[in-house]
Amino acid sequence: MSKRTKILDLLQTAPGSDYTVMGWVRTFRNNQFIALNDGSCLANLQAVVDFENFDPSLLKRITTGAALKITGTLIPSQGKGQSVELKANAIEILGDCDVEVYPLQPKRHSLEFLREIAHLRFRTNTFSAVFRIRHALSYAIHKFFNDRGFVNIHSPIVTGSDAEGAGEMFQVTTLDLNNPPKNEDGSINFKKDFFGKATNLTVSGQLEAELAALALSEVYTFGPTFRAENSNTTRHLAEFWMIEPEVAFNDLDDNMDLAEDMLKYLIQYVMDHCEEDLSFLEQRLAEEEKQKPQQERSEMSLKEKLAFCLEHPFERLTYTEAIDILKNSTPNKKGKFQYPIEKWGADLQSEHERYLVEKHFKKPVILTNYPKEIKAFYMRLDDDGTTVRAMDVLFPGIGEIIGGSQREERYDVLLGRMKEMHIPAEEMSWFLDTRKFGTVPHAGFGLGFERLVLFVTGMTNIRDVIPFPRFPGNAEF
């Protein structure tokens, strides 16, 4: 295609020489000014056309959405808004775009509309910024762990186990659903299935990460996870990406330190490397906020919110302390919570988490030592026998962004907990083996990647920070 210069690079180049650029037309004004975007950065390149030198039939094909190859001379710009522009010498139409049917017009479209045309929304400023930041975060996660000597483990996507014991799994099978092989008692005979047993998509890579951590000491996974929970919210996806570090010889305090260091590192990374996109999204959020009634508006801009998280230590307190705060809180007393907090043992809903973070402490919070009844079987039992060494990291506007724990490393206690919670121990001898052969204290957590992207970009719906969201009733694209 002959040498292409990226617009990102061209905008930082001194004028004087000739270049070839390729990209998509955002607008074409006055038969003269083409705003071209190639996704390398938010900014468009202005290409100036002397229309007398070009065939009118070619100029007609320069429409919003069309793909062009332009060769020209980089010159200082006369106009406002850019320091250089490209004086077009040759224009080639790579792909036409019929504006009569092209759904993206150079105007503001609603996020709901853009979600329906997710195959085209990459071409908007908002979504290109979101996905460049998503990439930067993904890279920064690997960098963070690599710099600290962690080993990246690829945990399986098809498994036979339910890591969370919550039963929210998508089954994987090649059996004929209309005529599955049966056992004598009428149940389905999974021995005849592809893997010779019932399998599902993984809900978490944690259990496999634990196996690796008990040899490599410091590991992490970063992969897709699947939950068949019927949650139609702005914070849940059926397919989402999770980062799960697991560290041998770490206790709950070490685990909290790692989580806080990691989150701060990732936020700082985006502030340092994604200035243009972040500024654009900050502006977008500010405009969205203006639509809200005064009392619901955020007091802080996006960048202020991010900086605020870096400046303050996260508040750490136990579930029991949190319940006391919530029980005595104004919204609880005034009946404003949809789920009133009546007694110790209640599961915390997003409204409670957000009250603690946004109203009470006004900063990120780490809650620990939850009742064992509302947490997974693998969490280490506290000495009182009623709580476990769990930790949830709660973020403003998001609620739970991380869930983790110190793990139960004592064979007998773990086996007892599995029985109590009806986890099929006989199918998980491989997990229990680690507690028989050189067991050690260890801890880890899971960071929901899309919830992090949501927080950093200031977007409000999790369906807008993953390219093609999967949620109940939707698996388009």
Q: Which residues bind Mg ion (CB under 5 A)?
A: 403
Closer to ligand 4AD at the Cβ: 47 or 365? 365
Which residue in the set 159, 204, 329, 434 belongs to the binding site for ligand 4AD (CB under 6 A)? 204
CA–CA distance, 443 with 453 (Å, rounded to integer): 24
Element (H, E) at 261: helix 252-273
237 binds, among ligand 4AD, Mg ion, none (CB under 5 to 8 A by kind): ligand 4AD
Contact 390, 381 (CB under 8 A): no
Determine, following the binding rule CB under 6 A, whether residue 260 of this chain makes contact with ligand 4AD.
no
Question: Please, which of residues 75-134 interact with ligand 4AD by CB under 6 A?
Answer: none
CA–CA distance, 93 with 421 (Å, rounded to integer): 64
451 binds, among ligand 4AD, Mg ion, none (CB under 5 to 8 A by kind): ligand 4AD
Which residue in the set 254, 301, 400, 421 belongs to the binding site for ligand 4AD (CB under 6 A)? 400
Write the burial class of residue 133 (CB in 10 Å: 0-12 exposed, 13-18 middle, 19+ buried): buried
CA–CA distance, 412 with 234 (Å, rounded to integer): 40
Biggest CA pair distance of the chain: 85
The residue type at 197: K
Determine, following the binding rule CB under 6 A, whether residue 402 of this chain makes contact with ligand 4AD.
yes
Closer to Mg ion at the Cβ: 22 or 365? 365
Q: Is the dihedral of CA 111, 112, 115, 116 positive or negative?
A: negative
Closer to Mg ion at the Cβ: 242 or 459? 242
As given in the structure block, the two tokens for residue 146 are: 């690599």
Write the burial class of residue 213 (CB in 10 Å: 0-12 exposed, 13-18 middle, 19+ buried): buried
Closest of 386, 367, 385, 388 to residue 377, by C-alpha: 388
Element (H, E) at 392: strand 387-395
Determine, following the binding rule CB under 6 A, whether residue 254 of this chain makes contact with ligand 4AD.
no
Which residue in the set 65, 223, 448, 458 belongs to the binding site for ligand 4AD (CB under 6 A)? 448
Grouping H, G, I as helix, E, B as strand and the rest as coil, residue 446 is strand
Q: Which residues of 304-334 are buried (b: 16+ CB within 10 A; e: fewer)?
A: ebbeebeeeebbbbebeebbebbeebeebee
227 binds, among ligand 4AD, Mg ion, none (CB under 5 to 8 A by kind): ligand 4AD
Write the burial class of residue 76 (CB in 10 Å: 0-12 exposed, 13-18 middle, 19+ buried): exposed
CA–CA distance, 463 with 460 (Å, rounded to integer): 9
What are the φ/ψ torsions at residue 190 (nearest 5 degrees)? -75, -10
Question: Please, which of residues 173-202 interact with ligand 4AD by CB under 6 A?
Answer: none
Determine, following the binding rule CB under 6 A, whether residue 354 of this chain makes contact with ligand 4AD.
no
Closer to ligand 4AD at the Cβ: 163 or 252? 163
Grouping H, G, I as helix, E, B as strand and the rest as coil, residue 60 is coil
Determine, following the binding rule CB under 6 A, whether residue 404 of this chain makes contact with ligand 4AD.
yes
- Shortest spacing between CB 443 and ligand 4AD, in angstroms: 9
358 binds, among ligand 4AD, Mg ion, none (CB under 5 to 8 A by kind): none
Expressed in angstroms, the distance from the first to the final Cα of the chain is: 29
- Shortest spacing between CB 365 and ligand 4AD, in angstroms: 13
Determine, following the binding rule CB under 6 A, whether residue 236 of this chain makes contact with ligand 4AD.
yes
Query: What is the distance of C-alpha 405 from the center of its chain?
Result: 21
Closest of 323, 444, 320 to residue 382, by C-alpha: 320
**Range in contact with ligand 4AD (rule: CB under 6 A) among 116-124, 135-143, 327-335, 441-449:** 441-449
The single-letter DSSP state of residue 358 is I
**Range in contact with ligand 4AD (rule: CB under 6 A) among 229-237, 312-320, 341-349, 380-388:** 229-237
Q: For strand 365-371 and strand 315-318, is the pairing parallel, antiparallel, or unpaired?
A: parallel
Closer to Mg ion at the Cβ: 24 or 370? 370
Counts of helices then strands in the chain (DSSP H, E):
14, 16
Which residue in the set 36, 133, 137, 163 belongs to the binding site for ligand 4AD (CB under 6 A)? 163
Question: Please, which of residues 62-81 interact with ligand 4AD by CB under 6 A?
Answer: none
Determine, following the binding rule CB under 6 A, whether residue 380 of this chain makes contact with ligand 4AD.
no
Determine, following the binding rule CB under 6 A, whether residue 445 of this chain makes contact with ligand 4AD.
yes
- Shortest spacing between CB 438 and Mg ion, in angstroms: 29
**Range in contact with ligand 4AD (rule: CB under 6 A) among 86-94, 96-104, 191-199, 399-407:** 399-407
What are the φ/ψ torsions at residue 472 (nearest 5 degrees)? -50, 125
Closest of 474, 475, 471 to residue 227, by C-alpha: 471
The residue type at 396: P
Determine, following the binding rule CB under 6 A, whether residue 377 of this chain makes contact with ligand 4AD.
no
Closer to Mg ion at the Cβ: 403 or 444? 403
159 binds, among ligand 4AD, Mg ion, none (CB under 5 to 8 A by kind): none
Determine, following the binding rule CB under 6 A, whether residue 450 of this chain makes contact with ligand 4AD.
yes
- Shortest spacing between CB 321 and ligand 4AD, in angstroms: 20
How many residues touch ligand 4AD (CB under 6 A)? 23
242 binds, among Mg ion, ligand 4AD, none (CB under 5 to 8 A by kind): ligand 4AD
Residues of this chain that bind ligand 4AD (CB under 6 A): 163-164, 204, 206, 227, 229, 236-237, 240, 242, 244, 400-405, 444-446, 448, 450-451
